[in-house]
A and B are shown apart, each in its own frame.
Chain A
Amino acid sequence: MNERFKESVVKSLRAMYRSLPIIFGVIILISLMNVLVPKTFFTTLFQGNLLFDSFIGSVLGSILAGTPITSYVISGELLKQGISLIAVTAFIVSWVTVGIIQLPAEMMLLGKKFAIIRNVTAFILSIIVAIVTVTILSIL
């Protein structure tokens, strides 16, 4: 029992030792991104084409990082600027499901192949989720 307790503590400490530098690195990158990219910059990227805008929404959401609250605030602004709901939904979904900034961390801890496939599929699915959600809403 005592040995198992010790073993579990050591195992958990080892895993934390391995992960903390990666987590700190990701937080530094997010801090830099939040300071360097102004929020007004995003509206200039949308063109008014539904599919292209959805793609841009997903790309932006994948690159940017931070708390989901930030994505809702930006999305509210985008909607006010007349950006389509599909594009904005794709933006919100990819913001929380795809992570380019944390990709190196994910690859190091969960495996390269897994991380790449997970992020690529999440990116594609963010556009599909946006289209399905808005279509269902239009039917309701």
Chain B
Amino acid sequence: MKKKQRKKQGKIEGKVEMSHNQWYFLAGVFVIAIIIFLFKPDAITPSIQFFYSFLKKIIPIICLIFVLMFLINFFVTPKQLVKYLGKKSKSIIAWPVVVIAGIISTGPIYMWYPLLNDLQKKGVKNSFIATFLYNRAIKPALLPLIIFYFGLAFTIVLTIVMIITSVFQGLIIDKILGGKKKKK
């Protein structure tokens, strides 16, 4: 019985996930690019060069995110996630965990949307997702560069203020969305 239910649920999920909106979006972007290139043909080569160098940088991150998604799907059950990061979670440990996860995560913010989408579907609170995304702004590897441009005191104060703000934003989002899961 359980197996049958899981199969049915999988089929429903599959149908939802196989929608074509993402391809319409990509097609729209291609149309914009073609229009720009028609009016500004000298932008073609530098844009393609920039795109190529950017793509080279993010391919390892795409692989990393795939592995993380697989590990979460394999080892962590939605029940466990909901217990610690879900709507009724009262765990104080969850906040520092989300903050640290956001800080240590690498790559562009949008690379993490698929994983977060997955977690959201499993019942993780929107506040935690927002806090994670906010902390993506703090990059330990880039701290020396900020220190170089703005000084040590500025870097320390900004980092602390941003960490506190990330939790504050999570709480605001929780208040506004009421800790609801994404509606399909």
Once A96-B136, A118-B173 are accepted as A-B contacts, the answer to whether A109 and B117 lie under 8 Å apart by CB is yes
Chain A residues packing against B (C-beta within 8 Å): 4-5, 7-9, 11-32, 34-36, 67-69, 72, 75-76, 79, 85, 89, 92-93, 96-97, 99, 102, 104-106, 108-111, 113-114, 117-118, 121-122, 125, 128-129, 132-133, 136-137, 140
Output the nearest chain B residue to A24 by Cβ-Cβ distance: B26
Q: Are B74 and A32 in contact (CB under 8 A)?
A: no
User: Separation in Å of the B168 CB from the closest CB of chain A?
Assistant: 7
Residues of B within 8 A of A110 (CB): 113, 116-117, 120, 129, 182
Size category of the binding interface on chain B: 35 or more
Output the nearest chain A residue to B113 by Cβ-Cβ distance: A109
Q: How far is the CA of A118 from the CA of B136 in the complex (A)?
A: 14
User: Separation in Å of the A16 CB from the closest CB of chain B?
Assistant: 6
Number of A-B contacts (CB under 8 A): 188
Q: Are A108 and B22 in contact (CB under 8 A)?
A: yes
Residues of A within 8 A of B51 (CB): 27-28, 31
Output the nearest chain B residue to A140 by Cβ-Cβ distance: B153
User: Separation in Å of the A131 CB from the closest CB of chain B?
Assistant: 10
Once A36-B36, A129-B158 are accepted as A-B contacts, the answer to whether A75 and B149 lie under 8 Å apart by CB is yes
Chain B residues packing against A (C-beta within 8 Å): 10, 13-14, 17-19, 21-23, 25-26, 28-30, 32-33, 36, 40, 43, 46-48, 50-51, 54-55, 58, 62, 66, 69-70, 73-74, 108-111, 113-118, 120, 126, 129-130, 133-134, 136-137, 139, 142, 145-146, 149-150, 153-154, 157-158, 161-162, 165, 168-169, 172-173, 176-177, 182-183
- If over half of B's interface residues share one DSSP class (helix, strand or loop), that class is named, otherwise mixed; here it is helix
Q: Are A35 and B26 in contact (CB under 8 A)?
A: no
Given A21-B25, A29-B29, A69-B145, 19 other A-B residues pairs in contact with their CB atoms under 8 A: A8-B73, A12-B66, A15-B69, A16-B62, A16-B66, A18-B17, A21-B26, A23-B62, A25-B28, A29-B32, A31-B54, A72-B145, A96-B137, A102-B110, A105-B113, A109-B117, A128-B165, A133-B157, A133-B158
Once A106-B110, A110-B116, A122-B169 are accepted as A-B contacts, the answer to whether A15 and B17 lie under 8 Å apart by CB is yes
Q: Most chain-B CB neighbours within 10 Å: which of A36, A75, A133, A140?
A: A133
Q: Are B55 and A32 in contact (CB under 8 A)?
A: no
